[in-house]
Amino acid sequence: MIRKLISRIFDLPASLAGNKSKPRVLALAQHGVRRDALSHAALRVVSRLQDAGFAAYVVGGAVRDLLLGVTPKDFDVATSATPEQVHHLFRRSRIIGRRFRIVHVMMGPETIEVTTFRGGEVANKNETGRVMADNTYGNQVEDALRRDFTVNALFYNPTDETIIDYHHGVKDLRARKLVMIGQPARRYQEDPVRMLRAVRLAAKLDFTIDEHTRKPIAANAALLRNEPPARLFDELLKLLHSGHAYACLKMLRDEGLSQGTFPLLDAVMDEPGGETFLKNALANTDERVRADKPVSVGFMLAAMLWAQVRNRWQQRLQQGERDIAALVEAMAEVETLQDNDFAIPKRFSATMREIWFLQPRFESRAGQRPFRFVEQPRFRAAYDFFCLRADAGEVPRELQQWWEDFQNGDTAERQQLVDDVRNSGGEAANPERKKRRRRRKPAAAAGGGEPA
Ligand code: ATP
Ligand code: MG
């Protein structure tokens, strides 16, 4: 019965589908993952479910990462209990999601995501084959079939320390390759975000994407355009936080996926120096992610779109527009272009905008301005960004070094640095702006005061 059903869903010969329902069960000696490698919360959740008579396993990315010797960033549990039954067992839990109902179990500082085994025919699809609802429950065999890659379909049972492997996931993991379960094209049509997951996981794990899994990506990339922007942005965030953001973005572009998600990325990377700028920017944030330090998404987005902003800014300056006005216009233009694809949520775009907007302030070193600027809450982010521009040869290295010294100096040293600039003839940059200021406020400018 199940065999027939599975072969119908995945167009597999019944014999092949049948083989898939017989898993390999690996003992501790064969895989080496001990139960104490799990988090306290993951262990507690699994054992409470099992004690209540349900099947329960750690599943997905955590098992994969443990096998690779990587510390999992979170733990997912798959169980035979329904969301209501799970919710009933854990006081601090809540049922979330509509398209996929899952339970978040809060335990201490951790949140464990508990999903009920999926199964049954995926009946609710739209005209492109997209799965619209998927809350039919099934058993473990079916659940394994519905997961994306073979390495993500491994179940770990902490009670006997076994790994249950229906799709040769362990073999593929050792060969370091991502293999889609079932027919790749069809699985991408069911859920186009799987294409982004393939790229993100391959870059993050340093895996190759198996040829059969990779090939249909190009032909199906356009499907991403129909995905809800919020879901795409979620994926972009995961990608930026993967610790391999640059590798991910590069692969995204190489696989033709940026068109569906982040078209401006193509424009940025095609810009002379654009790719290097982005590479340097993300090398830094990737390093921070890997050292478990916080990173600013606004900063990464600022770097991703900078080549576009800079170009437009320069063009406007050449046309005689004023410095700040030109920059603000350029920023607005780029943001409008980006909004056509998906709007960047405010909590990130505000930082991004501020980093850009503060760039011209590194050109003014007179009077109290530098003193005030370093006190700005966003100074550090703006300065890090300015360093990237210096690395790219966009702004003079001496100017960046001056700001480095200024930040590190005490009050007297800072004053000395400001005096040095004045004594050497003041700011060379932007004489146009100076002229204007003098006209408006001759007395203040002469006294080193602060024009508005
Ligand atoms: P990460 O290390 O980024 O958390 P992950 O593989 O754990 O990677 P999750 O988004 O946490 O990714 O998903 C958990 C598991 O759920 C996956 O390992 C996979 O088995 C399954 N899964 C997630 N998204 C999909 C999808 N779009 N289609 C099929 N299965 C999916
Ligand atoms: Mg996960």
Residue 194 lies in a domain: no
Contact 309, 301 (CB under 8 A): no
Q: Could you read off the pLDDT of 241-254 as tens digits, one per residue?
A: 999 999 999 999 88
Residue with tokens 């898939």: 20
Closest-CA residue, ligand 1 atom 24, reads: 148
Q: Which pLDDT score is estimated for 73?
A: 87
Residue 440 lies in a domain: no
165 with 306, same domain: the answer is no
Active-site option among 134, 148, 165, 210:
148
Is 148 known to be catalytic? yes
- CA–centroid distance, residue 243 to ligand 2 (Å): 15
Contact 55, 77 (CB under 8 A): no
Residue 186 lies in a domain: no
Closest-CA residue, ligand 1 atom 7, reads: 61
- CA–centroid distance, residue 296 to ligand 1 (Å): 24
Q: Residues within 5 Å of ion ligand 2 by Cβ? A: 61
Specify the number of domains making up the chain.
2
Q: Establish whether residue 150 lines the binding site of ligand 1, counting it when its CB lies within 6 angstroms of any ligand atom.
A: no
162 with 293, same domain: the answer is no
Residue 344 lies in a domain: yes
38 with 161, same domain: the answer is yes
Res. 8: pLDDT tops 90: no
Q: Establish whether residue 93 lines the binding site of ligand 1, counting it when its CB lies within 6 angstroms of any ligand atom.
A: no
Which atom of ligand 1 lies at the shortest distance from residue 194's CA?
27
Residue 298 lies in a domain: yes
Any idea what the Cα angle at residue 188 is, between residues 184 and 191, rounded to 5°?
A: 140
Neighbouring residues of 187: CB distance < 8 A, sequence distance ≥ 6? 148, 180, 181, 194
* pLDDT tier, 128 (very low <50, low <70, confident <90, very high otherwise): confident
- DSSP letters, 374-424, are HHSTTHHHHHHHHHHHHHTTSS-HHHHHHHHHHHHS-HHHHHHHHHHHHHT
Cα dist from 431 to 64, 356, 428, whole Å: 59, 21, 7
Is 143 known to be catalytic? no
Q: Establish whether residue 193 lines the binding site of ligand 1, counting it when its CB lies within 6 angstroms of any ligand atom.
A: yes
- CA–centroid distance, residue 423 to ligand 2 (Å): 59
Q: Establish whether residue 243 lines the binding site of ligand 1, counting it when its CB lies within 6 angstroms of any ligand atom.
A: no
Nearest to 75 by CA among 112, 48, 103, 44: 112
Q: Which pLDDT score is estimated for 445?
A: 33
Nearest to 148 by CA among 123, 172, 114: 172
DSSP category for residue 359: G
Q: Which pLDDT score is estimated for 435?
A: 42
Res. 10: pLDDT tops 60: no
For residue 399, the domain's CATH number is: 1.10.3090.10
Res. 256: pLDDT tops 80: yes
Q: What H or E segment, with its residue span, contains residue 311?
A: helix 297-318
165 with 22, same domain: the answer is yes
Res. 363: pLDDT tops 90: yes
16 with 164, same domain: the answer is yes
Helix, strand, coil % in the chain, rounded to nearest 5: 60, 10, 30
Is 76 known to be catalytic? yes
Residue with tokens 């006294």: 447
- CA–centroid distance, residue 152 to ligand 2 (Å): 9
Q: Which pLDDT score is estimated for 447?
A: 31
Closest-CA residue, ligand 1 atom 18, reads: 60
Choose the residue to mutate in 112, 114, 151, 152 for probing ligand 1, maximizing ligand atoms within 8 Å of C-beta: 152
166 with 305, same domain: the answer is no
Q: Establish whether residue 148 lines the binding site of ligand 1, counting it when its CB lies within 6 angstroms of any ligand atom.
A: yes
Q: What H or E segment, with its residue span, contains residue 249?
A: helix 245-254
Q: Could you read off the pLDDT of 265-316 as tens digits, one per residue?
A: 777 777 777 888 999 999 999 999 999 898 999 999 999 889 889 999 999 9
Strand partners, 382: none
- In the predicted model, what is the mean pLDDT of residues 357-368? 94
Res. 66: pLDDT tops 80: yes
Domain boundary among 175, 209, 229: 175
Domain boundary among 158, 175, 192: 175
Q: What ranges in 319-358 are assigned the alpha helix state H? A: 323-341, 346-357
Nearest to 316 by CA among 360, 355, 276: 360
155 with 287, same domain: the answer is no
161 with 285, same domain: the answer is no
Q: Establish whether residue 165 lines the binding site of ligand 1, counting it when its CB lies within 6 angstroms of any ligand atom.
A: no
Q: Which residue has the higher pLDDT, 5 or 295?
A: 295
Residue 150 lies in a domain: yes
Strand intervals (E) in 67-193? 76-79, 93-96, 102-107, 110-116, 154-157, 162-165, 177-178
Q: Which pLDDT score is estimated for 120?
A: 65
* pLDDT tier, 335 (very low <50, low <70, confident <90, very high otherwise): confident
410 with 295, same domain: the answer is yes
Domain boundary among 122, 141, 175: 175
The 76-79 sheet, strands edge to edge: 24-26, 162-165, 154-157, 56-59, 76-79, 110-116, 102-107, 93-96
- CA–centroid distance, residue 61 to ligand 1 (Å): 6
Closest-CA residue, ligand 1 atom 5, reads: 61
- CA–centroid distance, residue 80 to ligand 1 (Å): 18
Residue with tokens 């000395």: 416
Choose the residue to mutate in 197, 199, 242 for probing ligand 1, maximizing ligand atoms within 8 Å of C-beta: 197
Question: CA–CA separation, 74 vs 77, rounded Å?
Answer: 10
Closest-CA residue, ligand 1 atom 28, reads: 148
Residue 303 lies in a domain: yes
Neighbouring residues of 84: CB distance < 8 A, sequence distance ≥ 6? 95
Q: Establish whether residue 147 lines the binding site of ligand 1, counting it when its CB lies within 6 angstroms of any ligand atom.
A: yes
Residue 55 lies in a domain: yes
For residue 48, the domain's CATH number is: 3.30.460.10
171 with 289, same domain: the answer is no
Neighbouring residues of 78: CB distance < 8 A, sequence distance ≥ 6? 56, 57, 59, 60, 114, 115, 116, 117, 140, 143, 155
Question: CA–CA separation, 182 vs 9, rounded Å?
Answer: 9
168 with 303, same domain: the answer is no
Average pLDDT across the chain, whole number? 87
363 is in which domain, residue-wise?
276-429
